């Protein structure tokens, strides 16, 4: 462990935690997006979770090149949990604000400056966050991270806002974790540490539970700027659920519902409709099975949407699709089937396109129509 001092200034100190595991290929861009921030009063805490690539040597080089690096913690054994690394980093932090800068993501150079300004104006805010854009392994843009938006009647994220945290917990968090990427947020460290006391790193949505506790009695702020870039690559591609792991995910979501109800015994009207959505979605694999029984009659066909459903389809069909369409392409193929953006493909080759999405069916149909597709379009039927 290497410790260095941070000089005092009149502006708030921001503690930057960089938890890393085998992200050598992306570390340079991440580290430079920290080092060159327009807001310079930082202490940087580096953590490596027993990487087997060249990450440690690059982090060591950086720790020697930037005097703001306070600590570099190297694990001899992998912890198995990013959340455990968060906790370890926070224990070393002494700033007023905290940024968890995931090592495979990167940011706009005005990220800290913009969010510090928001937090300074809102003393009751536990965190401020911004829009995230997806990027691929080569940093090519893949679109806005907006998967949570269809769950809500109103798109809150079209403008800046500061919302009462208890109202967010009651009305939004039962549907989706609205803080989609930790790297997009700047936290008030006193609030962060207080919330940590109520969370144990037990599952894939620890962060969801954590944000519920963090927002209780506080304020959530959002800045309508695209300042964070979340990288999709083969090492972190999370859209790989099986039907079995989907059941496990449902159980963990129910744990979130129970926590919200426990924290707010009255006045929570969104848990019941959120449960109905979850209950409805349990049939989505059965809907895919129905399509699989018919797929040999589809002619030359494609799947539109690369996700858990399309992977389930591929694993069970006997006649493979010609291509899988998606706007976020990180590999050239999956299980022998080509991957492509829909607007890069000659749709004349296809007789049928199967839309592998529940919430974006209307939009995806419109895209196919706008591209002049004349064949058959089939959608999942989840009642």
pLDDT, one tens digit per residue, over 354-378 is 999 887 888 899 999 999 999 999 9
**Which residues, at least 6 apart from 350, have a Cβ–Cβ distance to it below 8 Å?**
299, 300, 301, 302, 322, 373, 375
pLDDT at 171 over 70: yes
User: Residue 176 gets which letter from DSSP?
Assistant: -
Closest CA to 115 of 49, 66, 18, 184: 184
For the stretch 206-242, pLDDT in tens is 788 899 999 999 999 999 999 999 988 766 644 444 4
pTM of the model: 0.79
- Rounded to an integer, what distance in angstroms lies between the CA atom of residue 287 and that of residue 117? 48
Tell me which of 57-66, 91-100, 279-288, 295-304 is least confident: 279-288
Q: Write down the pLDDT at residue 280.
A: 67
């Amino acid at each position: 462990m290497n410790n260095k001092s941070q000089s005092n200034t009149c502006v708030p100190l921001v503690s930057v935690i960089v938890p890393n595991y085998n992200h050598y290929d992306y570390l340079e861009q991440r580290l430079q997006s920290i080092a060159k921030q327009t807001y310079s009063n930082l202490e940087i805490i580096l953590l490596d979770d027993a990487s087997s690539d060249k990450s440690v040597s690059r982090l060591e080089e950086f720790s020697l090149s930037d005097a703001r690096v306070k600590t570099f913690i190297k694990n001899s054994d992998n912890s198995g949990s990013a959340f455990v690394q968060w906790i370890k980093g926070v224990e070393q932090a002494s700033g007023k604000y905290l940024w968890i800068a995931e090592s495979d993501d990167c940011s706009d150079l005005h990220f800290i400056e913009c969010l510090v300004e928001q937090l300074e104006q809102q003393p009751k805010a536990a965190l401020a966050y911004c829009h995230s854009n997806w990027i691929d392994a080569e940093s090519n843009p893949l679109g806005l991270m907006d998967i949570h938006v269809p769950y809500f009647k109103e798109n809150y994220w079209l403008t800046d806002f500061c919302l009462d945290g208890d109202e967010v917990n009651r009305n939004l968090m039962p549907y989706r974790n609205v803080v989609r990427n930790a790297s997009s947020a700047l936290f008030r460290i006193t609030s962060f540490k207080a919330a940590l006391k109520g969370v144990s790193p037990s599952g894939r949505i620890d962060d969801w539970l954590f944000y519920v506790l963090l927002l209780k009695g506080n304020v959530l702020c959002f800045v309508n700027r695209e300042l964070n870039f979340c990288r999709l690559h083969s090492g972190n591609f999370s859209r790989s659920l099986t039907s079995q792991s989907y059941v496990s995910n449902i159980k963990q979501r129910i744990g979130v519902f129970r926590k919200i109800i426990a924290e707010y015994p009255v006045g929570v009207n969104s848990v019941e409709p959120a449960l109905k959505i979850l209950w409805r979605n349990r049939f989505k694999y059965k809907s895919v099975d129905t399509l699989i029984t018919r797929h040999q009659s589809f002619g030359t066909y494609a799947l539109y949407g690369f996700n858990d459903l399309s992977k389930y389809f591929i694993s069970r069909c006997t006649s493979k699709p010609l291509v899988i369409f998606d706007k976020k392409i990180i590999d050239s193929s999956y299980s022998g089937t080509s991957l492509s953006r829909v607007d890069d493909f000659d749709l004349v080759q296809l007789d049928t396109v199967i839309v592998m999405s529940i919430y974006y069916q209307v939009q995806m149909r419109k895209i196919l129509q706008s591209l002049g597709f004349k064949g058959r379009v089939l959608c999942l039927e989840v009642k």
